[in-house]
A and B are shown apart, each in its own frame.
Chain A
Amino acid sequence: MQVLNSPTQATSGYATQEPFLVIDNLSKVYPTATGDFVVLDGISLAVNEGEFVCVIGHSGCGKSTLLDMVAGFRQPTEGEVRLQTQTISEPGPDRMVVFQNYSLLPWLTAYENIYLGVNSVFPNKPEAAKKHIVMEHLEMVGLADVANKKPSALSGGMKQRVCIARALALRPKVLILDEPFGALDPITREELQEELLKIWQDHQITVLMITHDIDEALFLSDRVVMMTNGPAAKIGEVMQVPFARPRDRARMMEDPKFYELRNEALDFLYHRYAHDDT
């Protein structure tokens, strides 16, 4: 982690005051044939190091667009994203992404998929160390025994585990997940939520995650960012999730506070910002 830090911020006194990740008055406009289409309008959010933040909002409101700008895949029309005071201008392995679709390369095995990233990001490490990193992370997600299988031979949950392992093998500062468990069955989804939570705790990593699932957001995150509907979506409300960690799903479900927060989020999504499909 330390190696990736740029020299400027070691000397900058401001770095200690500014939060870890700052989304600063971010707007995104897509030019279209019928005129400009404003997706996001003035999004500001500060995320602390090690925080787990979930973003929820209706389909098409611009959640992926927002996280793509944090990842560096798209450029904001206005405003900027700063990670440790550095303005983000392009994608990089310090902000690893677990994509909405499984983005494993189908012609490489699980091992090779992870190795590709490790080899690219740590080119100077000795071969044995790279191998060790790959296997360590496959073990972390419990998939060491399918290291030599191609993605087509893996279940959806296994593929997403490999994606998470690939992301974490590069020791990112921020892990960005775009609806990572959306395509999974409920049981696998809960398993993966628990695994992710454990990994997050062990790695002390900052996580930004998009989800459609309010329960998932409440179980995982420190804060839930609720977005208003597009076009020109904003942050409508930021909800603090106070449950003690390490969290236990059953215990959380017994807590009346859980239902209070859940109802608040549901009210936000389905009454105040109900999706009118016209």
Chain B
Amino acid sequence: MTAPLDIRPARSRVNLQHLGSQAVNWLKGLIAPAVAILIFLAIWQLLTMGPDANLPTPIRTVSDTWELIINPFFNYGGTDKGLFWQVFTSLQRVALGFTLAAIVGIALGILVGTSSLMYSALDPLFQILRTVPPLAWLPISLAAFQQANPSAIFVIFITAIWPIIINTTEGVRQIPQDYNNVARVLRLSKPEYFFKILFPATVPYIFTGLRIGIGLSWLAIVAAEMLIGGVGIGFFIWDAWNSSRISDIIIAIIYVGIVGLLLDRLIVFVGGLVLPEEQKQ
């Protein structure tokens, strides 16, 4: 305390060194994936080099789609939009469907987790419904909503909700007995029990559910959009297939993969902010 001036430079020097070595580690971590990608591209090039190959080579893919790559923001009206707008539209649907699924799923999961009657009644149902493939919900939701956009959003909702419910329920049921005993002996009020014990104890499980849910949402939207049409990365792929623009499909798939990864990282990142460090215990 008496010599902050002595301590601070020393600490910041250590931090700089630390940061430096972290950056080096990070770069080292990039080498292996970069090599893997290069090998993958080389194999792809080799396999598609022949004169009667069905798929374009990587070089061909890039040259075919150069316009799409360098200009993701064009908007010629209708479905003729840049990849940014296609992905953006899909993401909007995911945002809506997933947010609804998160709200309803967490609430339902807590409800089911706190009541063993509800649990024994509903858990088997959830276990069955969660195995239904996303697209199987589409006809039903089209029949119910009669419109493409709400149907797509509903498909996301109904796909993402099961892992969220199931994980939240599990989290509530896994609250250590000791914590519940503390609540009982202190005679905590319901709200206090909820905010001080149930919710914090369940949050890690909720985030596991959200993470699985966002991955499924993204799977579901791409598939659903192929069928419902309109703007969206899913229909973009389908449209490209119908007009034999194979290179466009490949670029769109790369977009889909990267966006899916970013969505997953986003949930992990938010989870890291919300989960206090004691969860590492």
Residues of A within 8 A of B (CB): 71-73, 90-93, 95-97, 99, 101, 103, 105-108, 116-117, 120-121, 150-152, 170
Contacts and interface: CB of A to CB of B under 8 A. Distances in A.
Q: Which 8 pairs from chain A and chain B are nearest by CB?
A: A106-B278, A103-B178, A91-B185, A107-B200, A91-B184, A117-B186, A152-B278, A120-B186
Contact of A151 (B178, B192, B278): B278
B281 A152 contact: yes
A116 B192 CA distance: 9
Interface in B91-114: none
A106 B277 CA distance: 9
B276 interface: yes
A103 B181 CA distance: 9
Nearest to B200: A107
B144 to A, nearest CB: 41
B196 A116 contact: yes
Contacts of B279: 106
B229 to A, nearest CB: 47
Interface in B162-218: 178-179, 181-182, 184-189, 192, 196-197, 200
Given A106-B281, A152-B278, A152-B281, A116 B186 contact: yes
B181 to A, nearest CB: 6
Contact of A121 (B178, B182, B187, B278): B187
Interface of B is mostly: helix
A93 B186 contact: yes
Interface of B: 178-179, 181-182, 184-189, 192, 196-197, 200, 276-281
Contact of B276 (A91, A95, A150): A150
22 contacts: A71-B185, A72-B185, A73-B181, A73-B184, A90-B184, A91-B181, A93-B185, A93-B186, A101-B178, A103-B181, A107-B200, A107-B276, A108-B196, A116-B188, A120-B188, A121-B186, A150-B276, A150-B277, A150-B278, A151-B278, A152-B278, A152-B281
Given A101-B178, A105-B179, A105-B200, A120 B184 contact: no
Contacts, number: 61
B185 A92 contact: yes
B54 to A, nearest CB: 56
Contacts of A92: 185, 187
A75 B178 CA distance: 17
A72 B187 CA distance: 12
Given A107-B200, A120-B192, A96 B178 contact: no
A150 B181 CA distance: 20
Given A93-B186, A120-B186, A105 B181 contact: no
B205 to A, nearest CB: 14
A194 B238 CA distance: 76
B43 to A, nearest CB: 48
Contacts of A121: 186-187
Contacts of A107: 200, 276, 278
Contacts of B186: 93, 116-117, 120-121, 170
A99 B200 CA distance: 20
A145 to B, nearest CB: 14
A67 to B, nearest CB: 12
Contacts of A96: 185
A175 to B, nearest CB: 12
Contacts of B200: 105, 107
Interface centre among A92, A103, A107, A150, by most B CB within 10 Å? Answer: A107
Nearest to B188: A120
Contacts of A108: 196
Contacts of A95: 185
A254 B185 CA distance: 41
Contact of A105 (B182, B184, B280): B182
Interface centre among B179, B196, B200, B280, by most A CB within 10 Å? Answer: B196
A152 B278 CA distance: 6
Given A72-B185, A105-B197, 9 more contacts: A93-B185, A101-B178, A106-B279, A107-B276, A120-B188, A150-B276, A150-B277, A152-B280, A152-B281
Nearest to B184: A91
Nearest to B197: A105
B196 A105 contact: yes
A152 B187 contact: no
A72 B189 CA distance: 18
A99 B180 CA distance: 12
A220 to B, nearest CB: 22
Contacts of A117: 186
Contact of B277 (A72, A101, A103, A152): A152
A121 B192 CA distance: 12
Contacts of B189: 120
Contacts of A97: 181, 185
